[in-house]
Amino acid sequence: MRATLFLACLCSRVSAMSPQTILALGNSWKLDLSRSWDVLGPFPIHAREQHFLSPSFPINISEPLDLKKTYPSAYADNGTVGWSKTEATAEGDLQVSFPDVRWSALRATEGWSALQHHAVAHTTITVFPPTGSTDESPPRLLVQLIQGAYIAILDLELSTSPQWHAGNIYDMERTLPRAIELPTAPSTTSPTTYHVFLCADYEIRLFGDPQSGLPVQQIKLTVDIESIVSGVLLEPTQNVACDFLDGRPFGDALGIGLRSLGGWWTVSTAKAENLALELVRPILIAPSQTRIVPLRILEGQYTGSAVEIVLNLSSRDGQKAEVTTSLPINQLPAEAAIISASYFAAGVPTNFVAVSPIHDNDGPPILALHGAGVDIISNSFWPEALPRQQTRWIVVPTGRTPWGLDWHGPSAKEAWSSVDALVSILRARQPSIHLEEQTPVLLIGHSNGGQGAWYLASRFPDRVLGVLPAAAYIKSQAYVALSMSRSAHFIDPAVRAILETSLTPDDDDLFLSNLVDTPLLAIHGGADENVPVWHSREAVGVLKAWNNEANATFREPPGKGHWYPGILDNDATQSFVDQVFASEPRPRSNTFTLTVAIPSESGSLHGFKIERLRTPGRLARLTVLVQDEDVFKISTTNVQRFSMQASARSLVIDGQIIDVDLGLHGPIFFERQARKSSWKLADDLRAAVAQPSGRIQSFLSSPAPFRILVLDSANSQHLLLALRIAHDLHAYHRLDSEIVLLEEHPHNAPEGNVLVIGDTSSPALGELLKNSPTPFRVTTQQQRWHIEIQDSVLDAAGLGILFLHPHPRNSIGQMLFLLGTDGPGLERAARLFPIRTGVTVPDWIITSSRADEMGAGGIIGAGVYGNNWTFNDVMSWLY
């Protein structure tokens, strides 16, 4: 049976079939991935710096490869390195190491940061045509790169520009292979060989401390081949389902993974036997794209072990398909302890785990954040490690994926949404329950989840009753220092300061003033080999600096490592949990300080909330001195607008007595007058236009599935880039996106964030940026369109440009323009799309070809917007 026969069957009725089965049955092309690799390195680099540098640094892979050439490296004796050889296993496992480097000497002075390094690896892949004549289109590759940063495939003549595809560097489970088009069509009569280049970056936080002293990169590369033919394929590993308790679903969301083998397909309807459900919205799937079809459970009971679901599809060329799949259902008794729940997060079917209490209770729950790389869906380790409570539910969110965004951004939203989802599920099952959405929680977390507990508690202090972080790190820069940065040798310090404002919102130590009234128990093993114990010591010490009487306790079990049995299940932690719930509501200090970096990513403290900053990009603080319970003296730093939700008899702001009726419980808003240092009572501004984010990473927090708008459908690079980003959003964050060509872009587009991909010379930019409130404009010169900022025309070769823009219809949504002055420039911009934490991209950034060798030293412009999307002089830099 050939793939074409299988696809013809789609016009009638097909069942689930694995990708491996399809390839084995239907593909007549063959390939051979050479096991012999050339390796160049190591080169000093800090975490995430490879997003600025060329992934092939220090070589230019658009030029012929010279395996005899040497390159400068501070890690090697005599300061130069050359190419070496290594062999991969038949299974694709590749070890990259440099035993001649004196790692112990480097580590003696630079610590873990010296072990982080960059390397380039090269091999070849050969594609063999089918025997005999064939009318099949050229095939594509299915590539799974595990623990590698990037991969690029070029033809031997180097006739095309490199396109770098992100690997599954976190080795996350259920991540699908990436579909990669061959750079040139292979011969149909003889074998065709291509170059394969890998960007290999050793990161301590990902791969751990090499106890032997020799850092070894364990990379796995597997490549399959498939014909590009019209059709769709079920991807069961991407399915989403919830457990059923006594036949009733514990949630309302189901999801079916579906990939387009070729062609544009729309899922238009869905139905199931014995279970009432509906398709949430039509789903458009681009060629080679995978999406999760969202299905809402409407009502009824179901006691079967699987539900048969039928999806109806149509393609743009008029084909029809009916796809049937059997979705397994896990049936549990009503008293089950660990339950898999489902709901819709940003419109995407999403799971979380709930640990039920031994006895019924509807008081505030516990929110428990897992560590990096822990998959709570396929492994019950983390939920089972949490002590089941007598009267409290425990919510265990996914963070979207095992790594997510370090419990920041969309991962933080998913955590809070999981709590609200549990409340909705419980109220649907028991209408008399007293829990409400936005219920406060007690936060628990381990390792990265411990850091996440510090993060969520200090950004949303009024929603946190207490916090119990275990084995947590303070922030990424303190985990592994950025001291071995290549960019630092070239960058203007003013630019570096602007870039680092992108890290400020994640630096937990800067926000510990917000926790002076939050009960806290920090736990850290005295012999932690993964996260040094000084992190928790320092965090508690900084908190005590804000208030030495803060209810913060630190426990350091001697001789204990990063994880050990009972780290959270012991009498001391249970006593803390019981005390927190017994002491609601928590007391308020006479003096407290609210610290905020990005208002849209922060909540209130004792009812006070910073709504807008005077200078975005800088920290804002609001200090309250409470006298006689209802007399407030407030002092502010970098605050333009704030609100309060508390009754007061007297109010003084920055020495100004405010004469206003403060008996209302609010919220009421205060705003600094534009040309005065005085304050005034403002109108209710909750519906006002939100302040720009302060960093491009906020684009990932979309209120609905993303829309990726391709400006030039005739440029294959643009569509392929859209597919690459859609794959990354799904793989790294389980975020959904719909790819749309400009000529098909509807005016009534969904409310999700919009990514625009194109060239700066595209005439369509003029319409999209017409009357733009941002400093970016489109002009014409010599009958060509150009983009400019502050009268600087951006028309040099190789420029990559990224900037945020307000959403045209949704006040809480955003647009992101990802542009290039040419193909290489677009690639540079694409690598800065912040799919991972630690990529320092503020509201707008312009990078040049110099970045390939100088990293962030090749930036020619960067900045944080001012209020109302204006140019912010003090937080911007232009070359």
d(CA 366, CA 385): 14
Q: Which residues are CB-neighbours of 83 under 8 A, at least 6 positions away?
A: 38, 39, 40, 67, 68, 69
Residue 578 lies in a domain: no
d(CA 615, CA 612): 9
The answer, yes or no, to whether the previous bond of 287 is cis (omega within 30 of 0) is: no
DSSP assignment of 30-49:
EEEE-SEEEEEEEEE--TTG
d(CA 445, CA 471): 9
Q: What CATH number is associated with residue 318?
A: 2.60.40.2550
Residue 582 lies in a domain: no
Same domain, 393 and 534: yes
Same domain, 251 and 305: yes
Q: Which residues are CB-neighbours of 493 under 8 A, at least 6 positions away?
A: none
Same domain, 425 and 452: yes
By DSSP bridging, strand 784-789 and strand 244-245 are: unpaired
Which of 310, 331, 352 is where one domain is finished?
A: 331
Residue 788 domain boundaries? 696-878
d(CA 471, CA 522): 8
Amino acid 13: pLDDT: 30
- CB-count burial class (<10 Å; 0-12, 13-18, 19+) for 596: buried
Q: What CATH number is associated with residue 764?
A: 3.30.379.10
Same domain, 240 and 189: no
**DSSP, res 583:** T
Same domain, 233 and 167: no
Same domain, 503 and 388: yes
CB 407 within 8 A of CB 430: no
SS3 681: strand
The Cβ of residue 89 has, within 10 Å, a number of other Cβ atoms equal to 10
Q: Which two tokens stand for residue 288?
A: 């080679």
By DSSP bridging, strand 520-523 and strand 552-555 are: parallel
Select from 752, 717, 758 the least CA-distant residue to 736: 752
Which of 303, 331, 359 is where one domain is finished?
A: 331
Give the predicted TM-score (pTM) of the model: 0.94
What confidence tens digit (pLDDT) does each residue in 407-448 have?
999 999 999 999 999 999 999 998 888 888 899 999 999 999
CB 507 within 8 A of CB 539: no
Same domain, 558 and 622: no
Residue 132 lies in a domain: yes
Q: How many H helices and E strands in the chain?
A: 15, 52
Which of 650, 682, 714 is where one domain is finished?
A: 682
d(CA 295, CA 279): 5
Intervals of the chain under pLDDT 70: 1-27, 133-136, 661-666, 684-690, 745-750, 782-783
Amino acid 748: pLDDT: 61
Amino acid 572: pLDDT: 95
Q: Which two tokens stand for residue 512?
A: 């510990």
The amino acid at residue 794 is: L
Residue 144 lies in a domain: yes
Q: What CATH number is associated with residue 406?
A: 3.40.50.1820
Element (H, E) at 765: helix 764-768
Select from 248, 209, 410, 408 the least CA-distant residue to 331: 248
Side-chain-side CA neighbours of residue 841 (13 Å): 31
Residue 501 lies in a domain: yes
What confidence tens digit (pLDDT) does each residue in 851-875 have?
999 999 999 999 999 999 999 999 9
d(CA 470, CA 554): 10
Select from 119, 153, 115, 156 the least CA-distant residue to 38: 119
d(CA 772, CA 763): 15
Q: Which residues are CB-neighbours of 220 under 8 A, at least 6 positions away?
A: 91, 92, 93, 94, 144, 145, 146, 147
**DSSP, res 138:** P
Residue 714 lies in a domain: yes
Same domain, 59 and 7: no
Amino acid 25: pLDDT: 37
Same domain, 717 and 778: yes
d(CA 648, CA 667): 12
Same domain, 286 and 256: yes
Amino acid 19: pLDDT: 36
Select from 868, 504, 508, 858 the least CA-distant residue to 697: 504
Residue 265 lies in a domain: yes
Please give the tally of structural domains in the chain: 5
Same domain, 309 and 378: no
Residue 64 lies in a domain: yes
d(CA 243, CA 70): 58
Same domain, 259 and 370: no
